[in-house]
Amino acid sequence: MPEWLVTTILILVKLGFVFFLLLTGAAYMVLAERKLLGRMQLRYGPNRVGPFGLLQPLADAVKLVTKEDFIPSQADKFLFFIAPGIAAVTALLTFAVVPFGPPIRLFGREVPLVICDLNIGVLYFLGLSSLAVYGVTLGGWASNSKYALLGSIRALSQLISYELSMGLAIVPVVLMARSFSLTNIVNAQAGLPFAILNPPAFLIFLVSVLAESKRIPFDLPEAENEIVAGFHTEYSGMRFGLFFVGEYINVIILSSMVTVLFLGGWHGPLLPGIVWFFLKVGFISFLFIWTRGTLPRLRYDQLMHFGWKILVPLALVNVIVTGAILLLLNPAKG
Amino acid sequence: MAKTETMTINMGPQHPSTHGVLQLVLELDGEIVRKITPHIGFLHRGVEKLAEHRTYHQVLPLTDRLDYLAPMHNNLGYVLAVEKLLGIDEQIPERANAVRVMMAELTRIKSHLVWLATHALDIGAMTVFLYCFRERERIMDFYEKISGARMTSNYFRVGGLSRDLPDGIEREIRAFIDEMPGHVDTYEGLLSGNKIWQKRVMGIGVIGAKDAIDIGLTGPALRASGVDWDLRRDQSYCDYDKYDFQVITGKDGDTWTRYKCRLDEIRESCKIVRQVLDGLKPGPILADCPKVCLPPKKDVVNTIEGLIHHFKIITEGFKPEPGEVYVGVENPKGEVGYYLISDGSPHPYRMKIRPASFVNLQALPQMAEGAMIADVIAIIGTLDVVLGEIDR
């Protein structure tokens, strides 16, 4: 077999694997959330469809697809159409740079377990997460509904604010790993994960990630008790489904980013790398669900206050301190 | 300088957190609420008018449906008013009064549980909701065992009770009352120490004592503003003065204080129920007024007097002397009063209900104008309005 064919096939297989994994992952994430929340709240969660409710995601998908796809008469049709797509696609694309395991040997060659080991992977992730804001904003704007508009304004300001602290929390990681490539960052944590080396950055990133995922206590863009459903108030059927799936893919992506940037990616004793990776992602996702079961929601101004007056300054100080320490430790290289 | 306009937004009557069919027209400047116009009446059923065409006993089931979270309390206010109109309010047997107090306090716990559940849910704390409903379910079970219905109890009667407590219920209620304060601690553990919860409720929706009195606030909303006023103590009914309990008051008049007050009221209610259970003695449950109270079934079948009384009360009802009367009781949400006018016929000439939520809702614009959308939700929650009572 010619060399190029093998490469292409390998890439396609990896693509298929990741695509399948993310979509099923997101679907079962919904189930896991409902089950876990149920258990935290003295309920059972879904247990009717299939054994232990395991087929529930399928039933949900069927329901979403067969529901009427309603478009408000005053909506901006084009933007209304593409907004959910943007939300889902940007979320899916981000996983391209996430290394989910150590390189393996296949057909006598070294295959890295990442779709594309971009040398600026971190920037790519930040770029796409900025783009994802468009899905939410345009969706709310195009619906031509006041609640949706309120939701999208909230989403816009929240995501932009927290992107800043998220980016600033990644800077120390890049400084410590001396690379923008996610694979190199994981390799730099072979000894100790950055969460232990730089806990402030880890905590700031974790909080920002919670805000980025638009979940309690930062679920203001879709706070159903205040603004009905926020930016997706007017969406129904599979378009709503895309927003929904996008959100859960986002949770998985953000959990894997936490894993890659701070928890040492696939590094861990005994178990194979890929298992460690998914264990860590699962644990962080569980944290997401757990917070939803326990915390109330912040208010809009409190959210902004927290982001700009607490997280951003802290992150900035952390960048400077980390830089100074690195300089002191390695004066020659600095 | 860009020209900005306020946005008018319609919150309700179909909105997840307007607690039923309350409609608020909000004028928004960004997230800040400049003006609130509440619209009510979507649940109007004409209870007061309906009452004019029914006998006094037939009005009773209508009162269940006012504040549907505290049906027994509504019943209580109504039967007390009719008893006063008839002049038999001194003849109510001791056991009937004790059971009335016990049920009223269980109802208070039940109503406060729904308040806490929805209030917390509105602020995003989803789990508290289901915890509260677990305990509420227990009280619903008592309701079912005692009155036969879970929501629309219709248990009290003019002159006493519709039937005696079922066997063994005292033990169950006592077990529940013993563990209830622990559950309140659990809710507090989930909320009170939480920084986000504190930030969301402290200093929100402040109303001072003077304003509270001017508007006519009653119940926990009034007491949280520092006014020490509780009808159970200050205009005692059903022998409430026999029981030892504290009237919980606060100082700050904000959402946090109201939250604390209601939680403490649950604890106090537990105390009252325990005292009732301790002093509960067997005895008659209906006053000895054959023209008003239905005779026992065995008299209806076996004696001619019983049969006649039964027939007359069912077909015609009783006829109070002409006159008018007002009786207010301390509902979980505030003072609920019944104003009855009798013209000597078996139907009330006029019934006017003074609902607690209706009056309390008036405080909303004053409390929430200038706050943010999220605060409006919190304030609706803290006022604890029930639309069934507002619209009647």
Partners of residue B286 on adjacent β-strands: B160
Report the half-sphere exposure of A294 (CA within 13 A, side-chain side).
13
Percent of chain A scoring above 90 in pLDDT: 1
Q: Which residues of A touch B191 (CB under 8 A)?
A: 296
Mean pLDDT taken over chain A:
83
- Structural domain including A237 reads 72-329
The average pLDDT across A69-87 equals 83
pLDDT digits (tens, 9 = 90+) for A186-197: 888 887 888 778
The average pLDDT across B10-16 equals 78
Strands of the B23-29 sheet, one edge to the other? B7-11, B23-29, B32-39
Answer whether the bond into residue B13 is a cis peptide, omega within 30°: yes
Min distance B22 CA to chain A CA atoms (Å): 14
Report the chain B residue with the minimal C-alpha distance to residue A38: B127
* pLDDT surpasses 60 at A333: no
Q: Please, which pLDDT band fits residue A105 given cuts at 50, 70 and 90?
A: confident
- In chain B, DSSP assigns E strands to 7-11, 23-29, 32-39, 156-157, 160-161, 323-331, 334-342, 348-354
Q: Is B355 exposed, middle or buried (0-12, 13-18, 19+ CB in 10 A)?
A: buried
Domains of chain B: 55-347+381-386 (1.10.645.10)
Report the chain B residue with the minimal C-alpha distance to residue A153: B30
Distance CA B47, CA B283 (A): 34
Distance CA B197, CA B195 (A): 5
pLDDT digits (tens, 9 = 90+) for B169-210: 888 899 999 998 899 998 888 888 888 888 888 888 888 888
Asked if residue A53 belongs to a domain, the reply is no
* pLDDT surpasses 80 at A63: yes
Min distance A298 CA to chain B CA atoms (Å): 6
Is B208 within 8 Å of B367 (Cβ atoms)?
A: no
The average pLDDT across A30-57 equals 85
Distance CA B219, CA B225 (A): 10
Asked if residue A242 belongs to a domain, the reply is yes
The average pLDDT across A75-80 equals 83
Angstrom CA distances, A42 to A35, B122, B179, stand at 11, 19, 17
pTM of the model: 0.86
Count of CB contacts below 8 A, A vs B? 85
Distance CA B164, CA B291 (A): 20
Q: Which of A113, A108, A162, A175 is nearest to A133 (CA)?
A: A162
* pLDDT surpasses 60 at A292: yes
Q: Which residue has the higher pLDDT, A131 or A222?
A: A131
* pLDDT surpasses 50 at A40: yes
Q: What is the pLDDT of residue B339?
A: 92
* pLDDT surpasses 80 at A162: yes
pLDDT digits (tens, 9 = 90+) for B130-173: 889 888 999 999 989 998 888 888 888 888 888 888 888 888 89
Cβ-Cβ contacts under 8 Å for A129 (sequence gap 6 or more): A90, A94, A159, A163, A166, A212
ipTM of the prediction greater than 0.85, yes or no = no
Q: What is the pLDDT of residue A334?
A: 45
Distance CA B73, CA B122 (A): 26
Token pair 């917070």: residue: A291
Cβ-Cβ contacts under 8 Å for B18 (sequence gap 6 or more): B11, B12, B24, B380
Report the half-sphere exposure of A273 (CA within 13 A, side-chain side).
17
Asked if residue A186 belongs to a domain, the reply is yes
pLDDT digits (tens, 9 = 90+) for B229-288: 888 888 888 888 888 888 888 888 888 999 989 999 999 999 899 989 888 888 888 888
Q: Total domain count for chain A?
A: 1
Mean pLDDT taken over chain B:
87
Asked if residue A14 belongs to a domain, the reply is no
Contact: A216, B124; criterion CB under 8 Å:
yes
Q: What is the pLDDT of residue A107?
A: 67
The average pLDDT across B83-106 equals 88
Distance CA B180, CA B83 (A): 33
- In chain A, DSSP assigns E strands to 101-106, 109-113
Asked if residue A3 belongs to a domain, the reply is no
Q: Please, which pLDDT band fits residue A332 given cuts at 50, 70 and 90?
A: low
The average pLDDT across A63-73 equals 83
Q: Indicate the residue of B125, B372, B377 with minimum beta-carbon distance to A301.
A: B372
Q: C-alpha angle A236/A240/A242, rounded to 5°?
A: 145
* pLDDT surpasses 80 at B1: no
* pLDDT surpasses 80 at A113: no
Is A150 within 8 Å of B373 (Cβ atoms)?
A: yes
